[in-house]
Structure 1
Amino acid sequence: MDIYYEALLAENETASEKKCKELLKNLFSDMSKRLQNGAYSQPGGYEDYCRDRDAIIAQYRGEPNKGVRAEAVLNEFMNERGPEANIILCTDKKLSENDRKIQVERQRRLLLEHHRFNLEQLMEKQRLEEERMRQENERIQEAKLRVRQLINSLCCHVFTVQ
């Protein structure tokens, strides 16, 4: 009886393990395709990877009749995927850092462009003010000249009348 019972337990574990591995393979197939297509190789990819992985684990745990090896097979499967998750995390960090550097550089260029624009506006305003002052000086000089001419003509007229 013990040999029969042990054989039955071993058969049950084998069946459970086979069913659980097949279930995990099916559940992770879409995620594996996204992984191969580079869906997780972008800034924020690790967060997407974890969200998808956790949803699949929840779906796996929600499946009935997995047998006695359900959690052990899941743990083994997740341990096998550990290096994959670490690679995605490292890639995400590098890409996110590069993205951050690009954003900082873009902001720096925009700020420089804005300063350059403001400087050009200031220089144009100064040029216009200088032109206005030059024209005003010319008008003043012309007015002074007319006053002198008027004074000279009046003086000449006064001397001629006497």
Structure 2
Amino acid sequence: MSIHALLLTPCPADGPELWSSVHFHDYSTSIKDQMAMVLSASCPLRPRAPLCWREAASETAPCHDIPNSTANEEEQVYSLDKVDVHPQLCFQFSYRNSSHVECPHRPETAWNVSVSAWGLQLHLRLTSSVPAAFSPEGSAPGELALLLPVQVLGSCVLVR
């Protein structure tokens, strides 16, 4: 009889060394409206993984927390259902005192938002390449235009 033992090494210290030892595999899919990321690490690691919105496509761009969006974790698979996958919508993995942002690797997106100023109003235009329904009156299938008062300048608009 042979006994095989799985030896897990301790996690490196917090910071870049820790995250460089973790491999991320993106299994997000627009078809299922699901964001999913699988972690493989040589040490026992169970980080928290809320979503954040990256200001730009650059890896150095800030990623702003999205409240009440922590992914479910089961056997190192982090997933959220009913999410429109977007390259700037990312997981922010946090463990002890360090964090790492990992975004879906697919450049295509099912939806987009553009903002422009019209006089004393902001015009938000949401478009979707997949079937979408919007609750405000006057919205067309796959497209929604919202006018917001200029007082929201300097504020954030969360699109879900």
TM-score (norm 2): 0.22
Highest RCO, 1 vs 2 (Cα 8 Å, sep ≥ 6): 1
**Structure with a larger share of its residues in strand:** 2
**Structure with a larger share of its residues in helix:** 1
TM-score (norm 1): 0.22
| Structure number with larger C-alpha Rg | 1
